[in-house]
């Protein structure tokens, strides 16, 4: 378990113990009827577009004071409303509305009121906030006021769940409750990959002839940008007089002469054979000699094209491609043999992402694949520009199929050799019922969420999951679209559930 998770675990336990020790003190806000045991407080949870209302109140009796305890939570961040007044507007089925005003919360998120309604009957209730930068209206469907002397209306739990987790606990941690959303989700195969150079964008610069790396020109350092044709190294010829550019030029001239002579001999043999003077074997021998001479000339031509001699016989070595120097294997003053590597250049403006598609997913290889990937050290999610190729042979060690994607890298933030976590899209699900991934709790290979039947009550619900895309997970069964789900802080509800099973008493202490 990480340090962060361990800290969060003990913070949750500490909060549970804190509220356990605090106990429940309903007397501070409950009416005399509730305190006397005549009726339990009525609990109501209601929502507007911006607020969650959780209210506990005494069963009202006409002409008598009824206590109201109101919790107001902003849905945007699930934190308490901390300032501004609150109006309670009671509207009877006939007659004028009755208004009670509280100038400010008694505590963050909590308003208290004692309201006296003179006449019995059913009232609709509207709560109007005028907090700074936060104005809202919340409607409560019905408040029933009983006749004096009659049995008050029974209190109810308002859809109580099995797990109690108080508003004061919710407000002090990273907590959020939202409804599931309908989203178009993609189905993906997740795998690993590596960023590699494009095949024609990498070159090793080698010494064309034996000699010594000259000190008259500094070798480029790792990370330096070089252009195609730029001189990247100078080689001093060896001490012996036949070394350096002179040796290369002589060898090149000699090889050209051999090709010319071999061509003449081939042409002569062919004419004689056509005239039936020379046998076919002579033509074949001449053709073989010509081919051999051309093969000897080809590397010398390339060397002459890549170097440029100076009057001193020093050889200038040029970059065959534009790019970034990623490796330097020689040093100034050190001797090199012909063909020995000096440095390596990679053009990183475009890279390839080599993803390893599991053998069990090769059916997706025939589709038009697209992907996203992340790398360690960067928070961004990257997207390749196109699919380059899909391999035809599984790697015998990893049993994976190589898939290449092209990745633009003009900024240079992506580095060759970085390992990547790759998500390859294989399809889509339209209008999926989805919750954020953080809402899910795994327990014994099953998935659960915590739903909120009312403001301070929660239930554990087992769900079946489908595809995952962009931090959201499809719920295929176990959840309705209008239920409210703990999407952040599910761990704390889980701790409260464990404490409840252990007999802890989580009461109010307002």
Q: Which CATH architecture has domain 238-313?
A: Orthogonal Bundle (1.10)
Tens of pLDDT, residues 36-74: 455 788 999 999 999 999 999 989 999 999 999 999 999
CA nearest neighbour of 90 among 142, 132, 38, 133: 142
Instruction: Specify which residues 464 forms β-bridges with.
Output: 477
List the end-to-end C-alpha distance of the chain, in Å, as a whole number: 35
For residue 161, which of 492, 477, 460, 506 has the smallest C-alpha distance?
460
How confident is the model over 226-253, as a mean pLDDT? 73
3-state class of 35 per DSSP? helix
- Residue 9 — φ and ψ, nearest 5°? -60, -50
In percent, the amount of the chain with pLDDT more than 70 equals 82
pLDDT score recorded for residue 20:
41
On the CB side of 132, CA atoms within 13 Å amount to 4
Q: Is 219 helix (H, G, I), strand (E, B) or coil?
A: coil
Residue (of 297, 317, 299) closest to 307 by Cα position = 317
Q: For 358-378, how does the pLDDT look when each residue is reduced to its tens digit (9 = 90+)? A: 888 887 766 667 889 999 989
Those residues with Cβ within 8 angstroms of residue 377's Cβ, 6 or more apart along the chain or in another chain:
none
Split at pLDDT 50, 70, 90, the class of 152 is low
Q: Where are the domains of the chain?
A: 42-158, 176-186+430-499, 238-313
Instruction: Give me the pLDDT at residue 246, please.
Output: 60
DSSP letter, residue 331: -
Q: pLDDT digits over 338-352, tens only?
A: 889 999 999 989 999
d(CA 171, CA 72): 11
304 contacts 252 by C-beta, under 8 angstroms: yes
Render pLDDT for 77-110 as a digit per residue (tens, 0 to 9).
Answer: 999 999 999 999 999 988 899 999 999 999 999 9
In this prediction, residues 222-235 reach a mean pLDDT of 90
Rg of the chain's alpha carbons, rounded to an integer?
Answer: 40
Contacts of 167 (CB under 8 A, 6+ apart): 54, 71, 73, 80, 109, 110, 455, 456
pLDDT grade, residue 2 (50/70/90)? very low
* pLDDT for res 504: 47
Q: What is the mean pLDDT of residues 111-131?
A: 92
Q: From the centroid of its chain, how far is CA 463?
A: 24
Please tell me the class of the 176-186+430-499 domain.
Answer: mainly beta
Query: What is the phi/psi pair of residue 379, to 5°?
Result: -85, -15
Percentage of the chain beyond pLDDT 90 is 50
Residue 19 CA to residue 495 CA, distance in Å, equals 13
DSSP 321: S
SS3 content of the chain, % helix, strand, coil (to 5): 20, 40, 35
Query: Residue 1 — very low, low, confident or very high, per pLDDT cuts 50/70/90?
Result: very low
Helix, strand, or coil (residue 275): coil
Burial class (CB in 10 A: 0-12, 13-18, 19+), 334: exposed
Closest listed residue to residue 142, CA positions, set 67, 72, 59, 33 = 59
**Coil, helix or strand for 162?**
coil
Topology at the third CATH level for domain 42-158: Immunoglobulin-like (2.60.40)
Is the pLDDT reported for residue 123 higher than 90? yes
Nearest to 73 by CA among 65, 81, 85: 81
User: 332 with 213: CB under 8 angstroms?
Assistant: yes
Across 465-486, b (16+ Cβ under 10 Å) vs e yields bbbbbeebbbbeeebeeeebbb
CB neighbour class for 193 (10 Å; exposed up to 12, middle 13-18, buried from 19): buried
Predicted pLDDT at 5: 42
């Amino acid at each position: 378990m990480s340090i962060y998770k361990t800290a969060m675990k003990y913070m949750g336990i500490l909060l549970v113990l804190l509220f356990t020790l605090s106990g429940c003190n309903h007397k501070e806000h409950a009416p005399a009827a509730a305190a006397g045991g005549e009726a339990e407080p009525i609990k109501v949870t209601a929502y507007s577009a911006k607020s969650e209302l959780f209210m506990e109140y005494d069963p009202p009796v006409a002409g008598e004071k009824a206590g109201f305890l109101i919790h107001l939570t902003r849905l945007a961040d699930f934190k308490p409303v901390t300032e501004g007044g609150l109006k309670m507007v009671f509207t009877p089925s006939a007659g004028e509305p009755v208004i009670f005003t509280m100038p400010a919360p008694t505590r963050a998120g909590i308003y208290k009121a004692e309201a006296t309604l003179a006449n019995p009957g059913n009232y609709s209730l509207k709560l109007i906030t005028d907090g700074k930068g936060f104005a809202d209206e919340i409607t409560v469907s019905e408040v029933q006021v009983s006749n004096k002397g009659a049995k008050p209306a029974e209190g109810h739990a308002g859809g109580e769940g099995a797990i109690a987790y108080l508003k004061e606990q919710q407000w002090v941690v990273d907590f959020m409750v939202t409804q599931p959303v309908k989203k178009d989700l993609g189905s993906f195969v997740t795998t690993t990959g590596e960023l590699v150079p494009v095949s024609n964008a990498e070159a090793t610069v080698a010494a064309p002839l034996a000699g010594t790396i000259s000190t008259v020109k500094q070798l480029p350092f790792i990370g330096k940008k070089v252009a195609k044709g730029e001189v990247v190294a100078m080689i001093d010829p060896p001490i012996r007089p036949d070394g350096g550019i002179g040796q290369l030029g002589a060898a090149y001239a000699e090889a050209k002469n051999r090709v010319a002579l071999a061509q003449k001999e081939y042409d002569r043999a062919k004419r004689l054979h056509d005239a039936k003077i020379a046998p076919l074997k002579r033509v074949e021998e001449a053709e073989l000699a010509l081919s051999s001479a051309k093969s000897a000339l080809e590397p010398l031509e390339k060397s002459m094209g890549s170097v440029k001699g100076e009057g001193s016989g020093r050889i200038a070595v040029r970059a065959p491609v534009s790019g970034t120097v990623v490796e330097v294997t020689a040093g100034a003053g050190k001797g090199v043999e012909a063909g020995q590597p000096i440095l390596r250049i990679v053009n990183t403006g475009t890279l390839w992402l080599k993803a390893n598609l599991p053998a069990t997913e090769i059916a997706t290889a025939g589709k038009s694949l697209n992907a996203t990937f992340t790398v360690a050290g960067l928070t961004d999610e990257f997207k390749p520009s196109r699919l380059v190729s899909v391999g035809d042979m599984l790697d015998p060690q990893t049993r994976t199929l190589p898939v290449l994607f092209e990745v633009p890298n003009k900024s240079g933030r992506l580095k060759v050799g970085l390992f990547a976590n790759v998500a390859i899209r294989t399809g889509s699900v339209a209008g999926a019922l989805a919750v954020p991934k953080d809402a899910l709790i795994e327990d014994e290979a099953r998935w659960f969420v915590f739903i909120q039947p009312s403001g301070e009550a929660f239930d554990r619900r087992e769900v079946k999951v489908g595809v995952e895309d962009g931090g959201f997970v499809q719920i295929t069964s176990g959840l309705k679209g209008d239920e409210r789900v703990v999407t952040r802080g599910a761990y704390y509800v889980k701790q409260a559930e464990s404490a409840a099973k252990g007999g802890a008493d989580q009461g109010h202490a307002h």
